[in-house]
Structure 1
Amino acid sequence: MDTDRLPGCYRHPDRDTGISCTRCERPICPDCMISAAVGFQCPECVRAGPGTGRRPAANAPRTIAGGVVAEDPQLVTKILIGINVAVFFLCLLAPALVVQLQLVGGYLEYLGGPVHGVAGGEYHRLLTSVFLHTEWWHIISNMIALWVIGGPLEAALGRTRYLAVYLLSGLGASVFVYLLADPGVRTVGASGAIFGLLGATVVLARRLRYEMRPVIIMVVLMLVLTFVPLGGVMRVSWQAHVGGLITGALVGLGMLAPTGARSRALVQWGTCAVVFLLAAALIVLRTAELT
C-alpha cells in the first residue's frame, strides 16, 4: 500500500488532492473548491453559511475570482435576460420609439443631413444594440445560450466581475463590427456578448483544470454556425462573434489570473480598463477614417 498517496476528494474519491476545506477540513479537488478569505471552502460549507449571525462581507465566502458567493448565483443572468426580453417586446410594440431613441446598431448613416450612427458620435449604439433583437428565433436562441453559458460563469466569477465580462464583450463585439464590416450595416443582438462569456468560460475551465474537450467542442460548433451559411435563414455577424470571443477571453484572463489576494483586484480591474481604453482608441481611429 502506498502510504504517500494524497487523500481523495470527498465528492470525487478518485481525484487525489492536497487541499482541504478551511472550515470542515474535508479534502476538496479543484472542481469543488471555492475561494474564501483564507484558503478554500467546500460547496456544503459555502451553502451552509456562517454558524451564527451574518458574516461580514470581508469574511464572506469568495468565488475563485474573488467575488462574494451570492445566495442567488445567477441573479445577473436573470436580469440580463429580463432586460433583453423587455426591449424585444418594446421593439414589437413601438418600433418607431426604438429608432427615435437611437438604439439601433447603425454605424454610418446619411439621412439627408449630418452623419448619424456611431460615426456621427452616437457611440452609445455600440452597447444599446447588444440588447436589441429582431426576430423570435433571434431572442429565443440567444437567451437560451445566455442562460446555459452565463449562469455557471456568473456563479464562478461573482456578479460584478461577470457583468464586467458581459458588457466589455458586447462592446468588443460591436467594435470589431465597426472596424471590419460595411460601415452602413445594422448589427444587433446579444450573441457577441454571449461569445465573450464563452471565451471567459474557456479560461475558467483551463484555470480549474476541467476536461477541455467539451468546452472546445462548444466553441467550434458555435463558430461553425457563425461561418457556415444556413440557407439564408440567419444572417450572422462573424465580426461580432469573433470580437466578443476574443474580448471575453482577454477579460477572463485578467479576472482569473493566479495572483495574490492583495493584487487580485488591481489586475482584474486594470485588465478591464486596458480593454476598454483599447476599444475606445479603435473607435476613435475608425471614426476618423470614416469621417
Structure 2
Amino acid sequence: MTHWLDEPCATTAFAWTLRRRDGVALGFTSHDRDLVIDGLLHRAGPGMVPSAIVENVRLDADGLDVDGGLTSDAISEADLNAGRWDGAALEIRLVDWTDPSRQRQLASGELGEISRGGNAFKAELRGPGAALDRPVAPRTSPGCRADFGGAQCGVDLMRHRRERPVILAEQEQLDLSGLADGALYRFGRLRFLSGRNTGTIHDIADGKEARIWLTQPPALAVEPGTRVLLSEGCDRSIATCAARFANAVNFRGEPHLPGNDLLTRYPGGR
C-alpha cells in the first residue's frame, strides 16, 4: 500500500496546534481553507510558515522559528504584549488536507522568545532537547530551592490565596480593597481574573497594607473593579519557612553550610 506522502499528487499542509497556559487551544493551517484536525478547528493562515525542520538522533539543542502575520483575531498584538502566549505548548504537523486523519508530527515543544516587527511576529520553538541544558543535580544554596507551593515544598497554596478587587492602579502599583497586610504577598504572584489582562500572571515585588507593587507594570490598562487573585510569597529563608509556614521539614536548602565568607575570616575577626 502506497504511503500518503508517496502519492504522485501532493495534498499536504502544515498544521499548528497551540495550547496556552490558561487552557485556551487554537489551531492554524497553511492550507487555504479551514480544517478540522483531531476535533479542533484549524483556521486557514497561509502566511504562517515554519523555518527548516531538521530531525536527527543526536542530543543537540533543537529549535526552530515560526513566522506569521498578525492577521488572525485569535493572535492579537495585545495578547502578545500581555504575555498570554509565553510558554504556550506548540505542535507542528504535516497533514493531508483531503483526509486530516493522515498526519505526521514534525516538531513539538513550547514557545520561547516572541519578537514582533510591524504586522508580523516570529516565535521560537523550544523542543524537548532544551531540557538537557538544565543542571543534572541541584546546587547548594542557603535559601530554599523548591517552588513555593510545589510538590517539594508541600505548602497548600489554597490556604494562602485571596481574591480582591482593584481600587486604583498606577503603573506597577495596585491598591486593593479589603487587603489588610500586603507584606504577606511579597515575592508572591498576582493573576488577573477580569479586565483586559485576564489570565496573565505577574510577580509581586513588595506590599504594604492595602497596596502591592508588581515587578513590572501590566501590559494593558487596569480599570477599577478588576478582580485579581493574590498568592502569598516566601523569601525562601529557613526562618520564614519554620515560623510562618511551620514547614522546616521540607526546606530545600543548606542554611548552615559554610559559604565563601569563611575564607575571609581570620583569628580574632568576626
Establish whether TM, by shorter chain, passes 0.5.
no
When you count strand as a share of all residues, which structure comes out higher?
Answer: 2
TM-score, with structure 1 as normaliser: 0.23
When you count helix as a share of all residues, which structure comes out higher?
Answer: 1
User: Bigger radius of gyration, 1 or 2?
Assistant: 2
TM-score, with structure 2 as normaliser: 0.24
